[in-house]
């Protein structure tokens, strides 16, 4: 059996102690090799051409350029390099942002060494790996997208609640202490997000889908 070249792994994290720990982890596996490291998204972009890694372990929340933006830029310039996000945060917005940026994996920092090594090998082979929490977040986000009004802001919900009570724009403006033009802007956004063309339809959709907290007056 021929010896294959080790998988070169670049580490991107703004904490030196994390990078040091990950380097030690990589050295424990003969088929994995540290390719270098960066302490920020900007530094990763500057170094990736020189280091030429196969896989990047990318922290997500960093000062300056975050991991998602760095991932998107690296993948745009070097589509052959696979990126695994390694973070402490399982929130669905972050999961979606990372995967949309082109990350092939999303793992939490409590992952075991063996699981991380396997994820790197899979990424190198073009196969995705998601932490259970990340997979659950994606499922929840997908379900939410099919729920009308899931993307309404808190202020838009306040305006919609008053619309359901029969308030006109002037009354809504007085109730919320905003201008009529601001109310008109919010109403327009509400109609657009609910996919309707009139206030009456918006009210009907709100009631039918129980979009509002009925415990509020």
Reported as a single tens digit per residue, the pLDDT across 122-146 is 999 999 999 888 888 776 666 655 5
In a domain, 2, yes or no: no
**Do both 180 and 85 map to the same domain?**
no
**Do both 73 and 171 map to the same domain?**
no
**Do both 12 and 108 map to the same domain?**
yes
**Do both 117 and 44 map to the same domain?**
yes
pLDDT averaged over every residue in the chain = 89
Q: What is the CATH number of the domain that holds 188?
A: 1.10.10.10
CB contact set of 140 (below 8 Å; sequence gap of 6+): 92
- Residue 95 pLDDT grade (very low, low, confident, very high; cuts 50, 70, 90): confident
The residue among 141, 147, 144, 149 whose CA lies nearest residue 196 is 149
Q: What is the CATH number of the domain that holds 135?
A: 3.40.50.2300
**Do both 170 and 74 map to the same domain?**
no
Q: What is the pTM of this model?
A: 0.66
Largest CA distance in the chain: 79
Q: What is the mean pLDDT of residues 42-63?
A: 95
**Do both 75 and 24 map to the same domain?**
yes
CB contact set of 8 (below 8 Å; sequence gap of 6+): 33, 34, 35, 51, 52, 53, 54, 55
In a domain, 38, yes or no: yes
Structure tokens at 202: 């918006």
**Do both 177 and 200 map to the same domain?**
yes
**Do both 103 and 182 map to the same domain?**
no
With a cut of 80, say whether residue 55 has pLDDT above it.
yes
**Do both 79 and 159 map to the same domain?**
no
**Do both 137 and 197 map to the same domain?**
no
Instruction: Provide the pLDDT for residue 197.
Output: 87
In a domain, 198, yes or no: yes
Let me know the angle formed at the C-alpha of 102 by 56 and 193, rounded to the nearest 5 degrees: 145
Domain containing 163 equals 154-208
Given 126, 144, 162, the domain boundary residue is 144
**Do both 185 and 109 map to the same domain?**
no
- Residue 215 pLDDT grade (very low, low, confident, very high; cuts 50, 70, 90): very low
With a cut of 70, say whether residue 152 has pLDDT above it.
yes
Q: What is the 3-state secondary structure (H, E, C) of the chain?
A: CCCCCCEEEEEECCCHHHHHHHHHHHHCCCCEEEEEEECCHHHHHHHHHHHCCCEEEECCCCCCCCHHHHHHHHHHHCCCCEEEEEECCCCHHHHHHHHHHCCCEEEECCCCHHHHHHHHHHHHCCCCEECHHHHHHHHHHHHHHCCCCCCCCHHHHHHHHHHHCCCCHHHHHHHHCCCHHHHHHHHHHHHHHHCCCCHHHHHHHHHHCCCCCCCCC
In a domain, 34, yes or no: yes
With a cut of 50, say whether residue 2 has pLDDT above it.
no
């Amino acid at each position: 059996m021929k010896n294959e070249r080790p998988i070169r792994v670049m580490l991107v994290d703004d904490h030196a102690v994390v990078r040091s720990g990950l380097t030690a982890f990589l050295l424990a596996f003969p088929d994995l090799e540290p390719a270098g490291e960066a302490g920020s998204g900007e530094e990763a972009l500057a170094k990736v051409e020189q280091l030429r890694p196969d896989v990047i372990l990318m922290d997500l929340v960093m000062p300056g350029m975050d991991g998602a933006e760095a991932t998107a830029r690296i993948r745009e310039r070097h589509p052959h390099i696979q990126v695994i996000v390694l973070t402490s945060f399982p929130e669905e917005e972050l999961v979606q942002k990372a995967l949309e940026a082109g990350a092939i994996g999303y793992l939490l920092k409590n992952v075991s060494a063996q699981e991380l090594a396997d994820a790197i090998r899979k990424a190198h082979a073009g196969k995705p790996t998601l932490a259970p929490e990340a997979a659950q977040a994606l499922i929840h986000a997908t379900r939410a997208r099919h729920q009308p009004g899931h993307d309404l802001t808190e202020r838009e919900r306040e305006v919609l609640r008053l619309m359901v009570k029969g308030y006109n724009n002037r009354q809504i403006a007085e109730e919320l202490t905003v201008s009529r033009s601001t109310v008109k802007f919010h109403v327009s956004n509400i109609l657009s997000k609910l996919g309707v063309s009139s206030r009456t339809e918006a009210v009907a959709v709100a009631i039918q889908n129980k979009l509002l907290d009925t415990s509020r007056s």
